[in-house]
Amino acid sequence: MFRLIMTNLKHLTFGKLFLLAAAAELFFGINGGLNVKADGFDVKYFIFTVLLCAAVTLLNLGREHTDGTLRNKLTLGYSRGKIFFSLIVSAAICSTVLYTIVSVPYFLIGRSGFTKSMSSEMLLGVVMIIYSTTLLITVGSAVLALCIPRLPVAAVVLLAAAIGFGIAEDGLGRPLNENKYDGYMVYYPTREEVEDEDKYPVELEKDENGNLVYAQFREQPNEFYVSGTKRIVYKTLYFLDPYAQFRTVERVMRLYDFDDEELEVDLAALDAMGEDIDFRWEIYRNYSYLPLYSGAFILVLLIGGVLLFRKININ
């Protein structure tokens, strides 16, 4: 299998497509790093990286069918399992190289643009999230290229999956971001009419006509808030979504755009609201676990992919 991997890498890394992708990644890494101080962290550079890795993987491995390379490897006595996993590992190594080319200059050049609030450990966590998402998309693209002999069909499926991830992020994110309670104001002309003052504080304010009224902020359950088992399922699916992971990284980095004092105040406010009230709390406190979600997704893709690869016709 090691020999297969080395042969694959020689074929993949010295091709024009990979070299062009590497040059593009280097440009975006340097350009993005220079722009960090002015514009802050911008996730678009890494979305571009993932798209480029997906395209390179799909096109390179898709040629394994069209060029007859898979058939030749079978003729030489290699098992389908070894061929499948050797190509997956080779694609992952290529994407790792591309990710390194863009991330090293981006984070090294842009490091001074991040505030003191973003420690090296936190920054490493963000780097690992983006890397695990890159590997997830690479493995998915490789599985499609190997299991769907017709490259145009595989490309359409990959595009449909990308669109689906974007739709899923919005569909799952909206209910998860709903507050558990909706707030509303109630105004009383006299103090005697105020209800539940022990539960909801009252303040004296002026209404639009300039009259003094007693204002009370109340809360009622939000009908769009999801809880219980349904919330657990929604969160799991959300964090498995690659696009949602990028959105999570964007939110985390936006938080650390604050200075130290603002960061402390914001996190304290989130802790006061609690996990069941504000979805941002769950994101900020648990984002370091996102690579585990990517790892689980990759495992499912590998198991399903190798089972399917063993059944397809290779001409």
Q: pLDDT tens digits for 121-172?
A: 777 888 899 999 999 999 999 999 999 988 899 999 999 999 999 999 999 9
Binning pLDDT at 50, 70 and 90, where does residue 76 land?
confident
The amino acid that residue 219 corresponds to is E
Question: Averaged over 171-176, what is the pLDDT?
Answer: 88
| Residue ending a domain, choose from 198, 221, 244 | 221
What pLDDT does residue 45 have? Answer: 85
Residue 82's Cβ-count burial label (10 Å; 0-12, 13-18, 19+) is middle
What pLDDT does residue 259 have? Answer: 47
State percent of the chain over pLDDT 90: 31
DSSP 8-state class, residue 6: H
DSSP 8-state class, residue 189: S
The residue among 120 and 142 whose pLDDT is bigger is 142
What is the number of structural domains in the chain?
A: 2
| Residue ending a domain, choose from 221, 250, 280 | 221
Q: What does the pLDDT look like over 37-74, one tens digit per residue?
A: 777 777 888 888 999 999 999 988 888 887 788 888 88
What pLDDT does residue 114 have? Answer: 63
Binning pLDDT at 50, 70 and 90, where does residue 89 land?
very high
The residue among 240 and 201 whose pLDDT is bigger is 240
User: Domain check: are 116 and 88 in the same one?
Assistant: yes
Measured in Å, how far apart are the chain's first and last C-alpha atoms? 22
State percent of the chain over pLDDT 70: 81
Q: What does the pLDDT look like over 237-267, one tens digit per residue?
A: 999 999 999 888 887 777 665 444 454 545 5
User: Domain check: are 167 and 203 in the same one?
Assistant: no
The residue among 26 and 16 whose pLDDT is bigger is 26
The crossing angle, in degrees rounded to 10, of helices 2-13 and 80-110 is 50
Domain residues for the domain of 37 are 2-177+233-309
Among 120, 97, 94, smallest CA distance to 107 is for 120
Q: Which residue matches tokens 């863009």?
A: 102
pTM recorded for the entire structure: 0.81
Q: How far apart are CA 34 and CA 31, in angstroms?
A: 5
Any domain includes 314: no
CB 151 within 8 A of CB 175: no
User: Domain check: are 63 and 186 in the same one?
Assistant: no
User: Domain check: are 173 and 185 in the same one?
Assistant: no
Binning pLDDT at 50, 70 and 90, where does residue 4 land?
confident
Any domain includes 145: yes
pLDDT of 97 above 50: yes
User: Domain check: are 250 and 287 in the same one?
Assistant: yes
DSSP bridge pairs for 214: 188, 204
Any domain includes 91: yes
User: Domain check: are 13 and 81 in the same one?
Assistant: yes
CB contact burial 247-275 (16+ within 10 A = b; e otherwise): bbbbebbebbebeeeebeeebeebeeeee
User: Domain check: are 23 and 130 in the same one?
Assistant: yes
User: Domain check: are 128 and 57 in the same one?
Assistant: yes
Any domain includes 55: yes
- Lowest mean per-residue pLDDT among 41-45, 277-281, 287-291: 277-281
Any domain includes 226: no
pLDDT of 185 above 90: no
User: Domain check: are 171 and 186 in the same one?
Assistant: no
User: Domain check: are 187 and 169 in the same one?
Assistant: no
